[in-house]
Amino acid sequence: MAEPLLSADSIQPDHYWDDGRVPVFKPTMSQFSNFRKFVLSIREFGMLSGIVKVIPPEEWVHNLPPLDQKIQTFKLGAPIEQCIAGSNGAYRQMNLEKRRGYTIAGWRKICETSDHLPPAKRGERRKTLPKTEKKKEKYASDKSGRDSFGLTAAEREEFKDFDYRFEEGGMFTDERCKDMEKIYWKTLTYNSPLYGADLLGSLFDDTTKVWNVARLPNLLSKLPPIAGVNSAYLYFGMWKATFSWHVEDMDLYSINYIHFGAPKFWYSISQPDRHKFERVMR
What pLDDT, on the 0 to 100 scale, is given for residue 4? 43
* Position 79 in a domain: yes
Give the whole-angstrom CA distance, residue 57 versus residue 26.
7
* Position 251 in a domain: no
* Position 26 in a domain: no
Range from 73-77, 191-195, 211-215, 216-220 that averages highest in pLDDT: 191-195
* Position 28 in a domain: no
* Position 228 in a domain: yes
Residue 172's domain spans which residues?
66-244
What pLDDT, on the 0 to 100 scale, is given for residue 173? 87
Q: What is the pLDDT of residues 253-275, one digit of tens each?
A: 889 999 999 999 999 998 889 99
* Position 47 in a domain: no
Q: φ, ψ for residue 41 (rounded to 5)? A: -75, -20
Give the whole-angstrom CA distance, residue 141 versus residue 167.
32
* Position 255 in a domain: no
Predicted TM-score (pTM) of this structure: 0.81
* Position 161 in a domain: yes
Q: What is the pLDDT of residues 237-249, one digit of tens each?
A: 999 999 988 888 7
Q: What is the pLDDT of residues 110-165, one digit of tens each?
A: 999 999 998 886 556 655 444 334 434 444 444 455 555 567 777 777 888 888 88
Give the whole-angstrom CA distance, residue 26 versus residue 32.
9
User: How many domains, in total, are found in the chain?
Assistant: 1
**Whether the predicted pLDDT of 190 surpasses 50:** yes
* DSSP letter for each residue of 181-195: HHHHHHSTTSS--EE
User: Can you tell me the mean pLDDT for 101-110?
Assistant: 91
Give me the CATH number covering residue 94: 2.60.120.650
Give the whole-angstrom CA distance, residue 25 versus residue 42.
9
Instruction: Please provide the size of the chain in residues.
Output: 282
Give the whole-angstrom CA distance, residue 199 versus residue 109.
19
